[in-house]
Amino acid sequence: MSQSLPLLAHEDPRAVLAWRAGQPVRVADFLADADRVAQAMPEGSHVLNACHDRYRVAVGFAAAVLRGKINLLPSTRTVDAVRRLRQALPDLFALVDGPSDLDLPCMRYPEADRAQAPRPRPMPRIPSDRVVAKVCTSGSTGAPLPHDKTWGSLVACVDAGRERLGLPAGTTLVGTVPAQHMYGFESTLLMALHGGLALSGAHPFYPADIVEELARVPEPRMLVSTPVHLRALLASGLDIPRLAMVLCATAPLSTELARDVESRTGAPLVEIYGSTETGQIATRRTACTDAFTLLRGVELAPVSEGLAMARGGHLLAPTPMHDLISPLGAGEFRLHGRSADMVNVAGKRSSLAHLNHQLCSIPGVLDGAFYAPEHGPHDAVGRLMAFAVAPQWTPQALRQALRERIDAAFLPRPLVLLRELPRNATGKLPQAALAALAARHGESLEACQDAR
């Protein structure tokens, strides 16, 4: 017989579960909202939760769980991605809280009437082996793929993460990442539901909005963010309200940025390592160490040079990792980047992560990324391209600055300056977006070569 686990870890119905526009939402109100939305849901078994308000995402998730439906949490909702999902899941419908251009049957989020106090009810319990969500990969390395998540595995993952972070009860989570992405799903939504914490319903993106929302919620506070958002926040020069912790993931984080964040906020910055397939499995204090430490019960078993299989802990089955890893013993490892990230040019090897780091570490470069065309014979790639946001630089001068940091074999041709890179809401650069940039600017390759 399957074990069951509570929907929420909060035992007091008066405990604050969320903050919306500076106002508290208590556990009893959340359960009443989840019941109301669950009753309004149509018959389809799969729900694409497209709400923007983080509190509504949480209510919609809980409502679907109560109705025995599966939450679909895609990180992208492009026309092609939604078409593929609808072909695979014909009964799919969307839960929305605003205008929508999704090619799906849509259910509008029903607002509550707070005139009446919610009726007391026992805490719902969910079978631990029930699949409650399909979480899609980001598409940063290819087409987004859905992965089943059971209630028991999600709760175990969040419990291990909460244990590692050691946040005090009642900490408010303010996230710049969407709750539909695995990182945001775990660290802003599930951490609140099963960590005894509270979530902010807002989804701030720009520095002023982040600062405003942090100031609106009570201490202690944790900011859940990405390197892109943190870099912009520091560059804004705004005063950042006091934080208990900063959580960061989704893209490589430099030691320099981690130290700058800690210096400006006075709070420890913890970097999460994981994937959509595994959820979070390790953390590190990036300002102090380059070694990640695995969460309770998780281990990495080597399968070939540099590659490993994650198993144990909250993982339902052994799961291959796509990153190059060096075990250090005692549950620690050093990360070297994705195995698919390695490039071979003229017999020399490097990684895109290393090249991106060198580009972005040049003063005045606000953002940047290399792009490797399709592999040629013997795993070699053609001439690399790069895209950068660097208002103070010309392409020629920036390439010269880059020449001082990387081998000449990896110098990009062309190096294209843009106003911004097409990052998604989690700060990632999907491979398809980079390929589109490469196709659009590829005709400048010959001109760049002639100018050398």
Higher pLDDT, 12 or 80: 12
pLDDT at 176: 94
Class of domain 4-336: alpha beta
Do residues 99 and 161 lie in contact, with contact meaning Cβ atoms separated by under 8 Å? no
Homologous superfamily of domain range 346-451: ANL, C-terminal domain (3.30.300.30)
Residue 137 in tokens: 């990969």
pLDDT at 372: 86
pLDDT at 46: 95
Higher pLDDT, 450 or 14: 14
pLDDT of 338 over the 70 cut: no
Element (H, E) at 249: none
SS percent in the chain: helix, strand, coil, step 5? 30, 30, 40
Q: What is the DSSP string of 324-354?
A: EEEEEETTEEEEEEEGGGEEEETTEEEEHHH
What is the mean predicted confidence (pLDDT) over 188-196? 94
pLDDT at 382: 61
pLDDT at 348: 66
Q: Is residue 340 very low, low, confident or very high in pLDDT (cuts 50, 70, 90)?
A: low
Q: Is residue 374 very low, low, confident or very high in pLDDT (cuts 50, 70, 90)?
A: low
pLDDT at 430: 81
Q: Is residue 379 very low, low, confident or very high in pLDDT (cuts 50, 70, 90)?
A: very low
Neighbours of 124 (CB within 10 A): 16
pLDDT at 5: 96
pLDDT at 140: 45
pLDDT at 376: 44
What is the mean predicted confidence (pLDDT) over 83-95? 89
What is the mean predicted confidence (pLDDT) over 382-386? 82
Q: Is residue 302 very low, low, confident or very high in pLDDT (cuts 50, 70, 90)?
A: confident
Q: Is residue 251 very low, low, confident or very high in pLDDT (cuts 50, 70, 90)?
A: confident
What is the mean predicted confidence (pLDDT) over 261-273? 97
What is the mean predicted confidence (pLDDT) over 154-183? 93
CA distance 376 to 211: 47
- Long-range contacts, 347-355 (Cβ 8 Å, 24+): 347/380, 348/407, 348/409, 348/410, 350/406, 350/407, 350/410, 351/324, 353/252, 355/384, 355/386, 355/406, 355/410
Residues 6+ apart with CB under 8 A from 80: none
Residues 6+ apart with CB under 8 A from 60: 37, 47, 49, 51, 71, 95, 109
pLDDT at 427: 76
Q: pLDDT digit string (tens) for 39-58?
A: 999 998 999 999 999 999 99
CA distance 16 to 169: 10
What is the mean predicted confidence (pLDDT) over 114-118? 70
Share of the chain above pLDDT 90, in %: 57
pLDDT of 142 over the 50 cut: no
pLDDT at 322: 80
Do residues 71 and 64 lie in contact, with contact meaning Cβ atoms separated by under 8 Å? yes
pLDDT of 443 over the 70 cut: no
Residue 160 in tokens: 């291990």
Mean pLDDT, the chain, whole residue set: 87
Q: Is residue 139 very low, low, confident or very high in pLDDT (cuts 50, 70, 90)?
A: very low
Question: Residue ranges per domain, the chain?
Answer: 4-336, 346-451
CA distance 43 to 446: 57
> Which of 11-20, 71-80, 308-317 shows the lowest mean pLDDT across its residues?
71-80
The pTM (predicted TM-score) of the whole model is 0.80
